[in-house]
Amino acid sequence: MSVTIYDVARRAGVGIGTVSRAINGSPQIRPETKQRVMDAIRELGYTPHTMAKRLATKRIGIIAAIMPFYTGHFYQELLRGIQKSLTEFEYDLLVHFVDKPEKLNAYLDRTLSEKRCDGLLVISMDIPEEYVDQLQNARLPVVVVDRGHDRLDCIQVENERGAYLATQHLIRFGHHKIGMISGNRHSEPAKQRYQGYARAMREAGLTVKPEWFISADMLETTPKIQQNDGFNIHAGRVAMKRLLQMGEERPTAIFAASDILAIGAMRAANEAGLRIPDDLAVIGFDDIELADYLSLTTMQQPMYEMGKMAVDRIMEKIEAETEEVRQFRLTTRLIERSSTRQAGR
């Protein structure tokens, strides 16, 4: 049995991405780590992939990705991580953008019939069960990103816990009237983040008022609001305007299920003459570049790292020809800025 990159990684005590970076002379690796990898390569007699070897093993050198036709920061960072890692593995990326739900099945059919890739990434979409069987029967390596599935490798963020910690942060600052603005409710991350918000409220003995929760699909269905599954600045702005119409009964703090929603909410608050955080505290989720610029407190999720991890895992499955299923849940981190402050100060 030939030596694989997986064997080298195990001998050197590193991930397969690190092995690839050592082989390709990446500057993002410590000299001592690179030396350990090169020693393992020499000891095992491993020959890195070349085009000739690809042809011999009938590998194509392409990873396909199926994802929603979104342009938000989350997807930009995720794709940046995917592309960076694939370049290190000398693989190309073929992206299928899905703008209508029925197109997912069409792209899955094409992937299975045309066999134009060595592995498949499915991003922010639920794979129908009948296709899970077909993909496994075809022995095509699959990694699902930003969604969960008990029969497939998955990489996702701890959405529920991140939302729980975000809401707890507002509660610790003395807020009792906390609302939530979300993207469309059918989105799995939106569901999980609502669960975290509601759990933190209940544990603190606070009321989860239905009127304090507004999702994009509860708003008028304008094209702007429904972009990116409702995770956009327009939905955040319109949702915040609706909350402000409650007058004295409005929330004093907002957990927004994404930074871009939070930025929309902050814009509406500023237009109404409210000061942040004196009149309204706001916390988001993502930690996009604009969050720092606008001093938005947020829960940081490792978007770029998710992309790199997805590639590392799918390459591991390709190299080791393993059918083992692994689940990865990445943690979020509170980034505290000036959009939250002790209530009443």
Query: Which H/E stretch holds residue 254?
Result: strand 253-256
pLDDT recorded at residue 52 = 39
Q: What's the pLDDT tens digit per position in 126-151?
A: 999 999 999 999 999 999 999 999 99
CB 331 within 8 A of CB 300: no
pLDDT recorded at residue 49 = 57
Q: At what angle do helices 233-244 and 259-271 cross, to 10 degrees?
A: 50
CB 303 within 8 A of CB 74: yes
198 or 248: which carries more pLDDT confidence? 198
pLDDT recorded at residue 59 = 76
pLDDT recorded at residue 325 = 92
Among 275, 292, 289, 285, residue whose Cα is nearest residue 341: 275
Quote helix, strand, coil % in the chain, to nearest 5.
50, 15, 35
In this structure, the number of other CB atoms found within 10 A of the CB of residue 74 comes to: 25
Using CA atoms in the order 203, 204, 207, 212, what is the torsion angle rounded to 10 degrees? -100
Separation of alpha carbons 109 and 303, rounded Å: 28
Strands 92-98 and 62-68: parallel
Which of 50-64, 148-162, 211-225, 276-290 is the least confident region?
50-64
Q: Is the omega angle on the peptide bond into residue 101 within 30 degrees of 0, that is, cis?
A: no
| pLDDT at position 35 over 50 | yes
pLDDT recorded at residue 238 = 96
pLDDT band at 305 (very low <50, low <70, confident <90, very high): very high
pLDDT recorded at residue 267 = 97
State the average pLDDT over residues 22-43. 83
The whole-chain average pLDDT of the chain stands at 89
Q: Coil, strand or helix: which one is 54?
A: helix
Separation of alpha carbons 139 and 58, rounded Å: 14
| pLDDT at position 344 over 80 | no
| pTM, full prediction | 0.81
| pLDDT at position 54 over 80 | no
Strands 62-68 and 333-335: unpaired
Query: Which H/E stretch holds residue 263?
Result: helix 259-271
Which of 93-102, 164-173, 274-283 is the least confident region?
93-102
314 or 220: which carries more pLDDT confidence? 314
Among 66, 113, 72, residue whose Cα is nearest residue 93: 66
Using CA atoms in the order 318, 324, 325, 326, what is the torsion angle rounded to 10 degrees? -90
> Percent of the chain, pLDDT > 90?
64
∠ CA 67-72-74, nearest 5°, is: 75
Query: Which H/E stretch holds residue 234?
Result: helix 233-244
pLDDT recorded at residue 50 = 46
| pLDDT at position 270 over 60 | yes
All domains of the chain in start order, with CATH? 1-48 (1.10.260.40), 50-157+303-331 (3.40.50.2300), 159-301 (3.40.50.2300)
Which two three-digit tokens encode residue 76?
Answer: 């930009």
| pLDDT at position 334 over 90 | yes
Among 183, 180, 166, 164, residue whose Cα is nearest residue 243: 180
Among 335, 322, 315, residue whose Cα is nearest residue 54: 315
Separation of alpha carbons 279 and 261, rounded Å: 18
